[in-house]
Amino acid sequence: MEEHVGSLWHRLITRAAQRHYPDAAVTLADIEKTAGLLFRAFGGDPA
């Protein structure tokens, strides 16, 4: 039963997440400094 419910949940969320909003797209170049800072702040390797 748990597998069935999990499968249904996965299908629902996947369909909801696959909507396409080109105006909301973000490129890595836009957030690379912030992403690097957060990566290191959460324990990532600084190198």
Q: Where are the domains of the chain?
A: 22-47
pTM over 0.75: no
Q: What is the pLDDT averaged over residues 17-21? A: 75
Whether the per-residue pLDDT at 19 is higher than 90: the answer is no
Phi, psi (deg, nearest 5) at residue 37: -60, -45
Whether the per-residue pLDDT at 40 is higher than 90: the answer is yes
Average pLDDT value for the chain: 89
Whether the per-residue pLDDT at 18 is higher than 80: the answer is no
CA triple 14-28-36, angle to 5 deg: 105
Q: 43: alpha, beta or left, given left = phi > 0 and alpha = psi -120 to 50?
A: left
Phi, psi (deg, nearest 5) at residue 31: -125, 10
Whether the per-residue pLDDT at 30 is higher than 90: the answer is yes
